[in-house]
Amino acid sequence: MNRILTLILTGAVIASCGSKTEKKKEEALAQETTAKYEPNWESIKENYKDPEWFNDSKFGIFIHWGAYAVPAYGSEWYPRQMYMDTATFSAQLTPGQKGPNATYLHHKKTYGDQKEFGYKDFIPMFKAEKFDAKEWIGIFKKSGAKYVIPVADHHDGFAMYKSNTTRWNSVDMGPKRDVLGELFKEGRAQGMIMGASSHYAFNWSFYNKKDKFDTTNPEYADLYSPKGKDLKEPVSEEFKKMWWDRTVDLIDNYQPDILWFDFYLDIPDYKEYRPKIAAYYYNKGLEWGKEVVINDKNFDHEAFPEGTVIYDLERGKLPGIRKLPWQTDTSIGKNSWCYVTNWESRTANSLVDDLVDIVSKNGNLLLNVGPKADGTIPEDQKEILFQIGDWLNTNGEAIYDTEYWSTFGEGPTEVKKGHHSEGQNKGFTGQDIRFTKKGDKLYAIMMEWPEGNKVDIKSLGKANEYGKDLNIKSVKLLGSDAKISFDVKDDALSISDLGNKSGDFAHVLEISL
């Protein structure tokens, strides 16, 4: 009897092991099937295509929120500049303004010596007691945004999610909440596309290391980075491995639709990691059954080859059409990305103009908000978001799901090119017009209301290369019931009376072809 039981049990164990082995083989086969991307640019270029959903979305929200909102002074670079005692070093690690930074002096006066009260000491003060993910997502939906990218890891080293690689995270410290997780859950429940940004690569060189600061204390090396006192010390293999583990943890546990990288990942030190992380993330997208996107700045050289990621410009635009999708990231705040007490907001008018100009050139706008440390979004920022949303409620058909036309537009105002160029741009005029198209509709968007309620659109004249083959059937002003009469001349599509002004911002003519 015992022998029979033994044989039965042995058979069961063998069968169980067999089934487990078969299951592992199936999983391995599935993984092999989805492992389409190899960690080299040739493989990624051959297989990657920008998802249409990203290009169709056009407008997203960026969120800079972390412990740096507690002092609410200077900018989100407070943690760096509070240790700049002799000069202010740029992101490229070159010395700029000599003498102690204003943030260094402010911190010393307000909170005390940087050895006794360091950046780490703001984290317990970052309570986020009024943070409501549902309210935030509701605000962003009302703005007309289609996707949301919260900062998951900023340069400061504090993770805004439940991290398996660092104790310095929002679940174990500060808010004691999974901020990213709550936003992802609520955003997806409300139909939003959810992404995450990682700025962590620069953590290596973010903090100034001197013995008179707490940044050299080995107890906090996992927050302030293990780098030594040499500001230009090459990134160590240890730290690059930390960056990899932290990024993979973020990808695996939150399955972001968009992964946005900041500038420092572009430096030569991370060269071998760039195709590796792209292949890993794109293969994960296949495993999850969805198309995913990497945003990167290619800050001062082509770190990610064209066509392998979606190019992102910080506080800047392009002067013309780029046939591959691209994105501008900018902030409502002129002077900061995170909340500061002297925050200066841009106008909704200028931001709508940016959106229109960018979309006409095949781009998206990622617009940043800076919540307060308690988790509230300031009223002035909300009001700007709602004004943009109102404009999109009326004119969104000329933005969402559109394509660029034969030319992006016409008019006297030129747009500067490149990162951090937005401050050089002049305001648009009533003669500045931008085009988008969808099906048999062409949209001519007047950036300001033209003088005399009349407009001549030169690009649509019969003798113009863009207008010569067009058959214009009707013209309608979105948001208005006025009947628009028009005359297609050799030199322009001429409208002598637009009727009453529609709204306060850019004005859209829907042209049926």
Can you point out the beta strands (E) in 121-180? 147-153
Proportion of the chain above pLDDT 70, given as a percent: 91
Q: What is the pLDDT of residues 104-149, one digit of tens each?
A: 999 999 999 999 999 999 999 999 999 999 999 999 999 999 999 9
Q: Determine if residue 238 is left, alpha or beta; phi over 0 gives left, psi from -120 to 50 gives alpha, anything else beta.
A: alpha
Tokens at 298, concatenated: 């290619």
Backbone angles phi, psi at 3, to 5 degrees: -65, -40
- pTM of the shown model: 0.92
3 state SS of 210: coil
pLDDT tens digits, one per residue of 26-57: 444 344 455 799 999 999 999 999 999 999 99
Torsion on CA atoms 103, 150, 295, 239, rounded to nearest 10:
60
Residue 265 neighbours by CB distance under 10 Å: 24
Question: % helix / strand / coil in the chain, to the nearest 5?
Answer: 35, 20, 45
**What's the rounded Cα separation, in Å, for the pair 67 and 37?**
37
Is pLDDT above 60 for 3? no
Q: Concatenated DSSP letters for 380-405? A: HHHHHHHHHHHHHHHHGGGTTT-B--
304-343 tens-digit pLDDT: 999 999 999 999 999 999 999 999 999 999 999 999 999 9
Q: How much of the chain, in percent, has pLDDT values that exceed 90?
A: 84
Residue 406, CA distances (Å) to 320, 403, 434, 438 in order: 11, 10, 11, 13
Task: Tell me the Ramachandran region of residue 411: left when phi exceeds 0, alpha when psi lies from -120 to 50, beta otherwise.
Answer: left
H helix intervals, 213-262: 221-224, 237-254
Answer for the pair 246, 165: CB distance below 8 angstroms, yes or no: yes
Q: How confident is the model at residue 22 (pLDDT cuts 50, 70, 90)?
A: low
- Identify any residues that bridge with 494 across adjacent strands, giving them in sequence order: 456, 487
* 462/468 Cα distance (integer angstroms): 4
- Give the sign of the dihedral formed by CA 9, CA 15, CA 16, CA 18: positive
**Strand-pair partners of 443:** 436, 510
Question: What is the pLDDT averaged over residues 196-215?
Answer: 97
